[in-house]
């Protein structure tokens, strides 16, 4: 690993002492970075390292407090995304900015010159998508497209502006392994044309596979650069967090305990025009098991979580059974009171109230019976603030939650630290059943390892755990059994040791449906 600050001769982009202050907080601290023409350059760092702030300055979303951006040898001021596009910088954000009710061509037109006719945009988009192996129908409505196809729109939209540098933020987080392979082919094609890519990812195996160089950020500063092909995922993780990241350890698997969560014949109609209906979902999870549910985003994961948690109760009581009690028609609180815990995907506004303190969020998430430990007094109960604060402190210590004060607002924590607190809050109850949706979404390697180990430990102590995740690394790391959700249908579970990434990728693409249809056809 090197840490030379000497500018790269002939660099396409050179960032010199770039700094961004938010009040007294320094998000980016005198950052130096060079990207060569025709280079795929990784930007690595844990949550809060400054990656997003840096690329937002490069794309004109944020204004630097100090320092300089040099483009093709000339200092430039990038005051807006429009300025970035004009000089040749394109960006594909992690969260897509597409209107579902519009067509592919209409979405692309929104970022282009108003004078270009929609027919010409559609024609150029179709030709360019074919040329780069990103096939798209420009007349299709976004609502009807898979997540992988939606990402293609964002990439094609960026490529239509003929950029010399494309910034990609976590581009494979919502793709199957097969779709990721196609994306890498596209990136190699761009590289061969002399275009450059700035690639942000927590998936270190991908960085090793496709990137020529990597720059590592920690606490807003560049701590060095390396050739990722000469590193291992473990050594890259160590550079990011400053120490070794603990591997998740599994106990030897014993015999199954009793069924704690059973779902049968669960069908839920789509609640909105763009939601996914659930179709005859069935599953069983026993004490000591972790059932991981894989799938590409938008295939019914949120709907399944809502049905399991009681956020949207279903009409049949026995469609969902927790600890031998039919709970299909019951809400979240009733399910919590019989020993279930839930961690939704959205941290802010769903799992936590951003403006409220951590201690207050802790009380909110407790059912009436759970709150007894926090109450004092006779008929008129009062909350013992000291007991609540002590519990919040205990959770923070156990999950290594890094925060600015003793009991700050939830919204002041980084995404990874808030996620550790939310997961820890549920684990603190020692639920007999835990259902968690995307437990380490956008979380760095150190935080992800701690969360995953906590889930494994919970199962080892006799709980039944369901992990809904789009991250195949995570699924293989924690699961005892794996099922795949596709188009609202759930496959039968497989013992984790019997599946490969390739087979899961095929199942994520709907293989189990076509297989079932084939078997039905042969039966007739």
Convert the pLDDT of each residue in 313-358 to its tens digit: 998 999 999 999 999 999 999 999 999 999 998 888 888 998 999 9
pLDDT confidence of 14, banded at 50, 70, 90? very high
Is the pLDDT confidence value at 523 over 60?
no
What residue spans define the domains of the chain? Answer: 13-241, 259-523
pLDDT on residue 151: 86
pLDDT on residue 433: 98
Return the minimum-mean-pLDDT range out of 27-41, 149-163, 247-261.
247-261
Q: b vs e for 93-119, b when ≥16 Cβ sit within 10 Å of the residue's Cβ?
A: beeeebeeeebbbbbbbebbeeeeeee
pLDDT confidence of 376, banded at 50, 70, 90? low
Return the minimum-mean-pLDDT range out of 235-239, 285-289, 431-435, 494-498.
235-239
pLDDT on residue 203: 85
User: Do 259-523 and 13-241 fall under one CATH topology?
Assistant: yes
CB-count burial class (<10 Å; 0-12, 13-18, 19+) for 474: buried
pLDDT confidence of 520, banded at 50, 70, 90? very low
Average pLDDT, the chain: 87
Is the pLDDT confidence value at 515 over 50?
no
What pLDDT, in 10s, does the model give residues 156-204?
A: 999 998 999 999 988 887 777 888 888 999 999 999 999 999 999 888 8
Number of neighbouring beta carbons within 10 Å of residue 316:
14
Three-state DSSP class for residue 178: helix
Three-state DSSP class for residue 125: helix
pLDDT confidence of 519, banded at 50, 70, 90? very low
Q: Which of 62-66, 273-277, 370-374 has the highest mean pLDDT?
A: 62-66
Q: CB-based contacts of 304: which residues, under 8 Å, 6+ apart?
A: 278, 281, 293, 468, 485, 490
Q: Which secondary structure element, helix H or strand E, spans residue 301, and what is its range?
A: helix 301-309
Is the pLDDT confidence value at 517 over 50?
no
Is the pLDDT confidence value at 521 over 50?
no
Closest alpha carbon to 332 in 323, 343, 316 = 343
- CATH hierarchy code of domain 13-241: 3.40.50.300
pLDDT on residue 52: 87
pLDDT on residue 279: 95
Give the whole-number percent of the chain exceeding pLDDT 70.
Answer: 92
pLDDT confidence of 95, banded at 50, 70, 90? confident
Residue 178 is encoded by which pair of tokens?
A: 């097969």
Three-state DSSP class for residue 4: coil
pLDDT confidence of 254, banded at 50, 70, 90? low
Give the whole-number percent of the chain exceeding pLDDT 90.
Answer: 57
pLDDT on residue 373: 65
What pLDDT, in 10s, does the model give residues 390-445?
A: 889 999 998 888 887 888 999 888 777 888 899 999 999 899 999 999 998 767 77
List, as one string, the DSSP characters of 246-274: PPP--PPP-----EEEEEEEEEE--SSTT
What pLDDT, in 10s, does the model give residues 112-139?
A: 877 789 999 999 999 999 999 888 999 9
The CATH classification of domain 259-523, taken from the options 1.20.1250.20, 3.40.50.300, 3.40.50.150, 3.40.50.720: 3.40.50.300
Q: How far apart are CA 310 and CA 346, in angstroms?
A: 16
Is the pLDDT confidence value at 231 over 50?
yes
* Half-sphere exposure for 229 (CA within 13 Å, toward CB): 7
pLDDT on residue 516: 40
Is the pLDDT confidence value at 518 over 50?
no
Is the pLDDT confidence value at 70 over 80?
yes
Is the pTM above the cut of 0.75?
Answer: no
pLDDT confidence of 145, banded at 50, 70, 90? confident
pLDDT on residue 262: 98
What pLDDT, in 10s, does the model give residues 34-60?
A: 999 999 999 999 877 889 899 999 999
pLDDT on residue 294: 93
């Amino acid at each position: 690993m090197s840490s030379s600050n000497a500018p790269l001769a002939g660099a396409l982009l050179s960032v010199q002492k770039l700094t961004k202050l938010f009040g007294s907080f320094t998000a980016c601290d005198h950052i130096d970075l060079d990207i060569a023409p025709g280079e795929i350059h990784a930007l690595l760092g844990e949550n809060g390292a400054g990656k997003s702030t840096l690329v937002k300055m490069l794309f004109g979303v944020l204004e630097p407090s100090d320092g300089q951006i040099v483009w093709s040898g000339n200092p430039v001021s990038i005051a807006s995304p429009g300025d970035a596009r004009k000089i040749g910088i394109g960006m594909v954000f992690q969260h897509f900015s597409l209107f579902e009710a519009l067509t592919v061509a209409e979405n692309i037109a929104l970022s282009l010159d108003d004078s270009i006719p929609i027919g010409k945009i559609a024609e150029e988009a179709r030709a360019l998508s074919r040329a780069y192996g990103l096939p798209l129908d420009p007349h299709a409505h976004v609502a009807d497209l898979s997540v992988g196809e939606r990402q293609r729109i964002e990439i094609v939209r960026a490529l239509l502006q003929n950029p010399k540098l494309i910034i990609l933020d976590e581009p494979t987080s919502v793709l199957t392994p097969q779709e990721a392979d196609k994306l890498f082919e596209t990136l190699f094609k761009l590289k061969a044309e002399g275009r450059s890519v700035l690639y942000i990812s927590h998936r270190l195996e991908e960085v090793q596979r496709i990137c020529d160089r990597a720059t590592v950020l920690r606490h807003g500063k560049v701590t060095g650069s390396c050739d990722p092909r000469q590193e291992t995922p473990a050594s890259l993780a160590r550079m990011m967090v400053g120490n070794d990241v603990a591997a998740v350890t599994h106990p030897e698997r014993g015999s199954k305990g009793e069924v704690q969560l059973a779902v049968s014949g669960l069908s839920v109609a789509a609640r909105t025009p763009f939601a996914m209906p659930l179709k005859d979902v069935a599953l069983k999870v026993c004490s000591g098991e972790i059932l991981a549910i894989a799938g590409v985003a938008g295939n019914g994961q949120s709907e399944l979580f809502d049905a399991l948690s009681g956020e949207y109760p279903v009409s049949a009581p026995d469609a969902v059974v927790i600890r031998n009690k039919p709970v299909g028609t019951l809400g979240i609180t009733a399910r919590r009171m019989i020993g279930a815990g839930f961690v939704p995907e959205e941290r802010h506004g769903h799992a936590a109230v951003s403006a409220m303190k951590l201690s207050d969020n802790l009380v909110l998430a407790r059912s009436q019976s759970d709150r007894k430990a926090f109450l004092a007094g006779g008929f008129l109960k009062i909350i013992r603030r000291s007991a609540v604060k002590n519990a919040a402190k205990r959770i923070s210590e156990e999950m290594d939650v890094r925060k600015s004060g003793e009991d700050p607002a939830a919204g002041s924590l980084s995404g990874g630290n808030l996620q550790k607190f939310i997961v820890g809050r549920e684990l603190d109850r020692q639920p007999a059943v835990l259902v968690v949706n995307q437990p380490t979404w956008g979380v760095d390697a150190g935080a992800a390892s701690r969360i995953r180990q906590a889930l494994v430990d919970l199962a080892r102590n006799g709980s039944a755990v369901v992990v809904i995740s789009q991250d195949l690394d995570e699924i293989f790391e924690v699961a005892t059994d794996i099922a795949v959700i596709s188009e609202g249908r759930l496959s039968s579970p497989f013992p984790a040791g019997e599946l490969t990434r390739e087979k899961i990728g095929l199942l994520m693409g709907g293989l189990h449906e076509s297989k079932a249809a084939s078997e039905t056809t042969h039966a007739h």
